[in-house]
Amino acid sequence: MSHSHGIYLANCSTIEHGTASEILLSFWEALCWQGQVWSSFIMGTRRVQHVDLESSLEARIQFLHSFLDFTSNDITTLLGGGKYIRPSIPSIVDSFYKKLLSYDVTANHFGTRSSGYEGAVDKTPHGSSPQMEYRKLILRGYLQKLFSDASKMEYWEYLDKVGIKHASSPLQTSQPTSQCMDIAFIHLGASLGYLQDLLNEAILLHPRLKSERKLALVKAVGKIIWIQNDLFARWQVQDSGGKRLVQPKVSESGGLESGGYLESEGYLHGTNVLARAENVGMEPETPMEEIGCPFDDAFGKR
């Protein structure tokens, strides 16, 4: 700013001697200089790209990875950290559902039969209710999945499926379906925040993890949680007419034509991904070179 002002003031002092065209040219050069500085401030050294966040899941994940700096380092950290966090998962799950059952607005969701559960239902749910045991089973599998291989698109497809399974408005289909859980976004956000707090506590208090690994793991988990939060929002946000900005293609029978979003919980494309996640090796010595983030270069080198 001081540089451009200097040019402008210098031009003013030459008004009596310079031509009008010379003065205008100098003033235009000053404006161009300001514009270049502002453009550099906004864009840095990278070209600003248009991102159509609703075009596809992959485009959305690419953007989130780039913006949050989610790289192969985070993938390696999650795989290695899973070995240490896995023993804490049962207690994390118990604490999580204890919190949800302590508020009527969240406990009410468990008084009815949820998606994928066909067993007995306790109308006044508590920690040992049959439906709560089922929900705990699903969450344990979900947490195992979070610490599995995030370099595969299947990982993000499953997190997106979790988003649609919790959708709070009915799918646009000619056949009624009860496969979505109808959870308000405020409850999803609050639940994710509490889950992140429980995970951070397990990481930070772990006696065998060094400080630098704790920091890396907390950061990686935070990125995953916020991407999951966005994938909840993806199926919740509506336009002014009450229509979802993203709407899955649903067949007449009530199932998705592609993508497998309405499969039973824990399944993706016909495979039980939660059961498989429990069997994935999570050795902390996994070399970084063996694990690549498919979106590292999607937005150019940083």
36 versus 84: which is more confidently predicted?
84
146 and 228 part of one domain: yes
Residue 300 lies in a domain: no
3-class secondary-structure state, position 238: strand
Number of domains in the chain: 2
Return d(Cα 243, Cα 96) in angstroms, integer: 32
Which residues are 282's β-sheet partners?
A: none
Residue 52 lies in a domain: no
3-class secondary-structure state, position 243: coil
Provide the pLDDT for residue 129. 87
DSSP 19: -
300 versus 106: which is more confidently predicted?
106
Which residues are 268's β-sheet partners?
A: 271
- pLDDT-based confidence at 223, cuts 50/70/90? very high
Condensed to tens digits (0 to 9), the pLDDT of residues 224-264 reads: 999 999 999 988 876 555 555 555 554 444 444 334 445 66
203 and 271 part of one domain: yes
Provide the pLDDT for residue 300. 42
Which residues lie closer than 8 Å to 160 by C-beta, 6 or more apart?
Answer: 57, 231, 234, 261
Return d(Cα 195, Cα 184) in angstroms, integer: 17
Amino acid identity of 203?
I
Q: Any idea which of 76-90, 124-138, 274-288 has the lowest mean pLDDT? A: 274-288
Domain of 220, in residue numbers: 57-290
30 and 115 part of one domain: no
Mean pLDDT score of the chain: 74
81 and 21 part of one domain: no
Indicate whether 77 pLDDT > 60.
yes
18 and 151 part of one domain: no
Report CA dihedral (111, 112, 114, 118) to the nearest 10 degrees. Answer: 120
pTM of the full structure = 0.69
Most confident of 42-56, 59-73, 286-300: 59-73
Contact present, 136 and 89 (Cβ < 8 Å): no
Indicate whether 21 pLDDT > 90.
no
3-class secondary-structure state, position 226: helix
24 and 80 part of one domain: no
243 and 171 part of one domain: yes
